[in-house]
Structure formats: structure tokens, C-alpha cells
A and B are shown apart, each in its own frame.
Chain A
Amino acid sequence: MFSDCGDFKTRYEQETAVFPNDVGRLALGIFIVVWFLAVPAVAGPHLLTIANLTGIAVIGATGLNLLTGYTGQVTIGHGAFMGVGAYATAILAARAHLPFWAAIPLAGLITAGVGAFFGIPSLRLKGLYLAIATLAAQFILEYVFLHWDWLTRGTSGFPVPTARLGRWAVVGERPFFWVIGVSVVLITWLNLNLLRTRVGRAFVAIRDNDRAASAIGIPLFRYKLLAFFLSAFMVGVAGALYAYYLGVVVPGKFTLDLSIDYLAMGIVGGLGTALGPFYGAIVITVLPEGLRAASQSLSNVFPNIATALNALREVIFGVVIILFLLFEPDGLADRWRVARAYFKLWPFTY
């Protein structure tokens, strides 16, 4: 029932198990039930907004983590991919009248296709060059969002119909809390299990050494495209949820800044870790919200402080990224692992 104080694994299945023992499984189950029942009952609308935005960010960051953290392909275009998911949802729901449970995965698939297309340069490029190629994808997609009015309605924005399940309309923070929560659980479950398969191991092999991976028989290009595909699928789902949540899709939401936010989530949370996207999404979503709350309470005293705090938010964001890179390059997930190891071994910390 409890964790062994040492490494006693004798079978491969024990290595790939998500939970080493039933305590973790049980604890997670209880946590999820409590989270879904207790939080909407207790939390006010403002806290639920933060929870919902964080949930969407967790899904997007999980997608980025799969591509950048596990497969080692740096991307600066995930903000635009999220936009593709949002616009695909708007079009599917408004023009094709699809229900939301069909529109969200379909939008994810469309985004996955777009992501795989922009992953084609990875055939020849890697590292910095690939990062620059995804930067170009970001700007090209932004152009499409803004200027292909016949498809995206440009600056005026694309309204998304209300999501309905039978007679139940998903309107307001509380229903979205459940929809987003279920999506987070599904995507995380998909992600964790994917990483235990042949495909997941191939991704990690490509990250660790692409030439060695190629030498042991992993077709690099196919797996890199697959990584782009799956990663863009998850980000597309995040974009689809965001579209329903906002009710209208506007191009200004999916800029380079969003892509950078996602990269920051990856860095702060810890790239290539299962829980990293959660920590990263929480920090990067809550940090500006906290500063915004501070600026609102202070604006009564200093009327001009709002602009200054906006700029200050930017500075703090940059400083957080830099400090993490300099002093905690493995992110919060590693900090958590160290803390856990400390208490697990306490009082014998050697």
C-alpha cells in the first residue's frame, strides 16, 4: 500500500505504471470528486473564472509539453494553433450547427491538421531553425485570422452559439467549470497513457538524441509530425473550449504573447514532466490575475496606477521566466519532487 523506500521494480509494467501504489490512485479519485462537487459550491464567480481560465491553460500547456517537453521540438506558434481551434469551433458550431461535444474534438482534429502542416519543416530543420519556422506559422495564422474576413469575420469577431447538451445550456461560470474540468481530466489521461506507449517512448528517444533514435529504427519525420499533430490537437481543444467560454472569437486573443505565455508555462512548470503543465498554467494564469486585483484595489488611492501596473506585470512576467531559467531550470515539478523526497525520507535525509 505504501511506497517502498528504494527501487524494487522487477517488471517493466511497474516502471510504466502511472501510480506506484493504490494510495495515489485513491487520493486522486477523492481529489477529483471533491474538486468537482465542492469547488463550484464554495467558490465565488471570480475564483471560478480563474479556475476555468487555468483549466483551459492546463490543456494548452499539456499540448505544448508533449511537443516541446517530451519530443524536444521548440514551438513559438501554439498561441496561433489555439486560435485555429477557436475559429474552427466557431465555424463548425455556427455554420455547420454541430453540437458542442462534436465540435470540440473536430476542431481539435482540424487544428491537428494545421499543426502537422506547420510541422513539415521539421523534416529538415531542428532546434533554432524549427523555432523560427513556428514563429512564421504564428504570423501567417494571425494574418489569416485578421484578414480572411469571409472565413473568420476579421476584427469584428466571430460569435459562437451557446453550447447545449440536450436541454441543458452551458452558460455561466459553473457549467463551464464542469465542462472544462472533464476536458482537463480526459486530456491529461490521454497524455499520460500516450507517454507509456511505443509512441511516447519514441518521442522521448527523439528528444534525448535524434540520431540515436533514428539508428534504433524510429522514423524521425513521421514521429515528429505525429508529435505536432497530437500537440496541436490538445491546443485546438483548449482553443475550442476558450471559444465557447468567451462566446466570441476575436483575432487579438491569439497573438505571439499567448504563444509566449504557453512557453512560460512550460518553463515554470517544468518541461517533460506530467504535472508541469498544471503548475505552469496555475502560476502564469494566477500571476496576472493577482496583479490585476492589486491594481484595482490600489487605483482608488493612485488613479494612474493601472497603466503602470500593466507594465509592471510585464516586467514581473519576464523576471519570473528569467529567474526560473537561471535558478530552477527544471521548473516547479522538480521542486515538488525534491520536497516530496525530503518528507518521504524524513528524518533520515541522507
Chain B
Amino acid sequence: MTIFLQLLVNGIVVGMVYALAALGFVLIYKASRVINFAQGYFLALGAFGALAIAQVTHLPFALAVVLSLAGSALLGLLVERVLLRPMIGEPVIAVIMVTIGLAAVLRGGIVLVWGAGNFGFPQLLPEAPLTIGPLIVSPVHLGALGISLAMLAAFAFFFRNTTLGVAMRAVADDQQAAQSLGVSVRRIFAVSWAIAAVVAAVAGVVVGSINGLNADALSFIGLKVFPAVILGGLDSVPGAVVGGVAIGVLENLAGGYLDPLVGGGTKEVAPFVVLVLVLMLRPYGLFGTVEIERV
């Protein structure tokens, strides 16, 4: 039972990170129907950017993170303007490939600048683990959980109570109707890319402070996003959160219980098995819009 609870807690913490990455992914998909294969590299770039700024300018780490987030927002805007806007109306494969090409550029760029090694953030929280009942939780995990929850709450507020948030929901719902009411769809596309990049960068910093920085490990989270968003529903923001946490819990449970039986690797593959099952049984996921096609 303790093992189960421990796996569950670890899963929720990891799942929160997936939820953040998935949130940005869903924002882009909802607004512009683009699947972003470079999401993982937005995570990596946010984390590496914070590290670089902290090292070069000797600013306090929190300030470096804020600057890195601002840089991510600019990158998101740039990517939308230069790469995605010419792709409007192009076939699916062109849209997918342009984000894959972007991923290759970002990966190469990160290795060019930082090299392929492992890095670490300065330690902010005490390392000694806390004991809560039978569970052992490190303060970094708790901090990660806190930051993720705060981000999600901020988003809930943003979509409910701000003009921009409501405009984004309107565009996701019906582009033409939103445009006729004076919402600039072009601006909303740009904003959703900026927000997605910022959220991804936050997730990157969170993962970086838990596991350290490694370009491949950080970017792989960008692929774990796919099971999360399909499970939750590709165009559902709450779905992204639920799906992210569910996938995080699932892969930790699979890793804990199945790995000893079949000998390793289940943690990586279990989310994708779930992905195939969901696609076969309920392609629109738990909370996604059901698209009915009639000839």
C-alpha cells in the first residue's frame, strides 16, 4: 500500500508537469488546429535559457526564470509569425512537418550552444526529504506541485475573467463568428503560441529543478504530451490537465508494478498503448468535442 501511494504521489507530480506541457499544446490546437511537435524543445529552451541567463548575468535565479519566460514568449510569437502563418490552409502533413523541422532546428541549436551534457539548477529548496505519514516527499516535488497548481489556477482565471481569455475561447469556438464580433483572429493565434511557449518553459524549469537539465530528457516530455492530450481530448483545456495527471500516474504505476514482471521499459511504452486504445475506442478523448461527419 505504501508503494502504491508513493508511486501515486510521484505520478501526480510528474503528471502535473505533463499537464502544463499539454496545456500549451492544447491552446495551440484549439486556436489554430496545429499539432506542435516542437513543444518538448520549448520546455528545454525555457530551462536552458533560465540557466544561461543566471550564469551569464549573475541575477537572482527567480529573475533569470522570469527573463527566460519572456524570451520564450517572444520565441512563440516569432515562430507563429514566420513559420505557422504561411502554413494556414496547407495540408496536414505540411503543418506537421514544419513543426518537426522547427524541433530539429531547436534541438541542434541547444546542442550547439550548451553541448549534450547534463546540467543542474542552483538548489533553492532544502534537499532533506519530508515525511508525511508513510510517504517520503522531497521539497522540490512539493514546490513543483505548488507551481503547477498555481499556473493552472491562473489559467482558469485567465479564461474566465479576462477579455483576452474570453476572446481566445471565442476564436476556438467559431473563428468566423469571433472575427465578426471584432476579435482579431491573427492576434489570438499569436497570443496562443506565446502562452504555449511560456507554459512549456515553466514546465521545463520545473522538470529542470527536479531531474536536472538534459536536452533529450526534457524534449521527450514533448512526446509524452500526445497520450495526455488524446486521453483528455485534443481540444479540451481541463482535459489536458486531467490527461496529463492520468498519464503521469499511469506510467509510474506501470513502471512500479509491470517492470519487475516484463523487464523494463513499460514506463515509456504504457502511455502510447493507452494512446492507441483511446484512439480506437474514443478518439475524441474524455472531454473533447465529438466531431460527427456525415456525407
Contacts and interface: CB of A to CB of B under 8 A. Distances in A.
B126 interface: no
Which of under 10, 10 to 19, 20 to 34, or 35 or more describes the interface residues of A? 35 or more
Contacts of A307: 111, 115-116
A54 interface: no
A282 interface: no
Contacts, number: 142
A238 interface: no
B280 A121 contact: yes
A317 B105 CA distance: 8
Contact of B276 (A140, A264, A310, A314): A140
Interface residues of B, number: 47
A325 B293 CA distance: 29
Contacts of B279: 121, 124-125, 129, 132-133, 136
Nearest to B38: A318
B100 interface: yes
Given A128-B35, A319-B101, A322-B101, A146 B116 contact: no
A140 B98 contact: no
Contacts of A33: none
Give chain B's interface secondary structure class: helix
Contacts of B152: none
Nearest to A121: B279
B121 interface: no
Interface string B87-119: 100111110111011111111110110011000
A322 B92 CA distance: 14
Nearest to B94: A325
Given A136-B275, A139-B272, A325 B280 contact: no
A318 B115 contact: no
A147 B109 CA distance: 32
A54 B237 CA distance: 44
A44 interface: no
Nearest to B103: A318
Given A143-B269, A321-B97, A132 B111 contact: no
Contacts of B275: 132-133, 136
Contacts of A325: 87, 90, 94, 97-98, 101
B146 to A, nearest CB: 31
Contact of A311 (B35, B98, B108): B108
A139 B115 CA distance: 26
B283 interface: yes
A267 B108 CA distance: 20
23 contacts: A124-B279, A128-B35, A129-B230, A131-B92, A131-B93, A136-B276, A140-B272, A147-B264, A149-B263, A215-B295, A260-B104, A264-B97, A307-B111, A311-B111, A313-B108, A314-B105, A315-B112, A318-B103, A318-B104, A321-B101, A322-B105, A325-B101, A329-B90
Given A129-B234, A132-B230, A326-B98, 15 more contacts: A76-B96, A127-B92, A131-B92, A136-B273, A137-B276, A140-B269, A211-B295, A263-B93, A310-B111, A314-B108, A318-B100, A318-B101, A319-B101, A321-B104, A325-B94
Q: Lowest 8 A-B CB distances belong to which pairs?
A: A314-B108, A318-B104, A321-B101, A318-B105, A315-B108, A311-B111, A143-B269, A322-B101
